[in-house]
Chains A and B, each alone.
Chain A
Amino acid sequence: MADWSIKDLEEWNEKIEALVKEMGLDCYPQEFEICDYHDMLGYQSYSGMPSRYPHWSFGKSFEKQKMVYQHGMGGLAYEIVINTNPCLAYLMIDNPLSMQILTMAHVFGHNDFFKNNIHFSQTRADLALEMFKRHANRVRSYIEDPGIGYEKVERILDAAHAISFQCDRNAFLRALTESDFRKRSDNKAQEDKWEHLTYKNGHQNVEVKPDLEYDLILFIRDNQPFLSEWEKDLLTIVRDETQYFLPQMETKIMNEGWASFWHYTILNRLNLPPNIHMDFIRSHNQVIRPHVGGLNPYHIGYCLFNKLAGSDGHQIEYEINKQIFDVRRIDRDSSFLRRFLTQELAQELHLFEYSTQGNTTYISEIADKHGWEKVRESLISNIGLNSIPIIQVKEISSKNELILKHNYDNRELELKYLEKTLEHVNTLWANTVIIETVIDNQPTRFKYKNGKFSRMADKPENKL
Chain B
Amino acid sequence: MAIFRDFSNQKRDRSAGDINRHKELVKKNLQQGIADIIAEEAIIGKSKSKTIKVPIKGIKEYRFIFGKNQKGVAQGTGNEQKGQVLQEGQQGQGQPGSGEAGNQAGEDIYETEITIEEAINLMFDDLELPKLERKKFLEVEVETNRRLLGYRKKGIRIRLSKRKTLINRLKRKNAVKDTLEEGESFPFNNNDLVYKKTVKDITHQSNAVVFCIMDTSGSMDQVKKYLARSFYFLLYQFIQTRYRNTEIVFIAHHTEAKEVSEDDFFHKVESGGTYISSGYKKALEVIEERYNPSLWNIYAFHCSDGDNFSEDNKAAVETAQQLCDLCNLFGYGEIKPDTGFSWSGMIDEFKKIQSDNFISLQIRGKEDVWPAFKKFLTFDKAQFQ
Binding site for B on A (CB under 8 A): 6, 9-10, 13-14, 17, 29-36, 38-39, 41-42, 45-46, 54-60, 62-64, 67, 86, 93, 104, 154, 161-166, 290-297, 299-300, 347, 349-356, 358-366, 371, 375, 378-379, 381-383, 387-389, 391, 406, 410-418, 420-421, 423-424
Check A294 against B96 for contact (C-beta < 8 Å).
Answer: yes
In the complex formed, the residue of B with least CB distance to A438 is: B69
User: Which B residues, 54 to 108, have Cβ-Cβ distances below 8 Å to chain A?
Assistant: 58-78, 80-91, 94-100, 102-103, 105, 108
- Contact pick for B22, options A59, A293, A356, A424, CB 8 Å: A59
Is B19's CB within 8 Å of the partner chain A? yes
- Contact pick for B7, options A39, A59, A355, A388, CB 8 Å: A39
Give chain A's interface secondary structure class: mixed
Other A-B contacts than A56-B59, A359-B89, 13 sampled, CB-CB below 8 A, are A14-B1, A41-B15, A56-B21, A295-B73, A295-B74, A360-B87, A363-B83, A388-B63, A388-B102, A410-B69, A411-B70, A414-B65, A414-B68
Check B65 against A389 for contact (C-beta < 8 Å).
Answer: yes
Minimum CB–CB distance for B237 against chain A, Å: 29
Check B25 against A349 for contact (C-beta < 8 Å).
Answer: no
A164 to B62, CA, bound (A): 11
Interface centre among A366, A383, A406 (most CB of B within 10 A): A366
A-B contact count (CB 8 A): 260
Interchain residue pairs A-B with the least CB separation, the first 6: A59-B18, A414-B67, A59-B22, A420-B62, A361-B94, A387-B103
Check B5 against A31 for contact (C-beta < 8 Å).
Answer: yes
Minimum CB–CB distance for B56 against chain A, Å: 11
A417 to B64, CA, bound (A): 6
A300 to B100, CA, bound (A): 14
Check B64 against A290 for contact (C-beta < 8 Å).
Answer: no
Chain A hits for B82, CB < 8 A: 363-366, 371
Give chain B's interface secondary structure class: loop
Minimum CB–CB distance for A342 against chain B, Å: 16
Evaluate whether A412 and B69 lie within 8 angstroms (CB atoms) in the complex, with A31-B3, A35-B8, A417-B64 already known.
yes
Check A382 against B76 for contact (C-beta < 8 Å).
Answer: no
- Can you list 17 A-B contacts (CB < 8 A)? A17-B2, A46-B14, A56-B21, A56-B59, A60-B58, A62-B15, A165-B64, A290-B75, A299-B75, A350-B80, A353-B73, A354-B74, A359-B90, A359-B91, A361-B95, A414-B66, A417-B105
User: Which B residues, 1 to 53, have Cβ-Cβ distances below 8 Å to chain A?
Assistant: 1-9, 12-15, 17-25
In the complex formed, the residue of B with least CB distance to A375 is: B73
Minimum CB–CB distance for A88 against chain B, Å: 10
Check B105 against A416 for contact (C-beta < 8 Å).
Answer: yes
Chain A hits for B9, CB < 8 A: 36
- Count chain B residues whose beta carbon lies closer than 8 angstroms to a beta carbon of A: 67
Check A296 against B99 for contact (C-beta < 8 Å).
Answer: yes
A387 to B73, CA, bound (A): 12
Check A361 against B87 for contact (C-beta < 8 Å).
Answer: yes
Chain B hits for A364, CB < 8 A: 71, 82-83
Check B102 against A412 for contact (C-beta < 8 Å).
Answer: no
Check B96 against A17 for contact (C-beta < 8 Å).
Answer: no
Minimum CB–CB distance for A77 against chain B, Å: 14
Evaluate whether A64 and B15 lie within 8 angstroms (CB atoms) in the complex, with A296-B99, A350-B78 already known.
no
A18 to B100, CA, bound (A): 36
Chain A hits for B7, CB < 8 A: 33-35, 39
Chain B hits for A42, CB < 8 A: 13-15
User: Which B residues, 107 to 127, have Cβ-Cβ distances below 8 Å to chain A?
Assistant: 108, 110
Check A411 against B80 for contact (C-beta < 8 Å).
Answer: no
Chain B hits for A36, CB < 8 A: 8-9
A6 to B40, CA, bound (A): 56
A17 to B20, CA, bound (A): 42
A417 to B66, CA, bound (A): 9
A58 to B16, CA, bound (A): 10
A30 to B5, CA, bound (A): 11
Chain A hits for B69, CB < 8 A: 410-412
In the complex formed, the residue of B with least CB distance to A391 is: B64
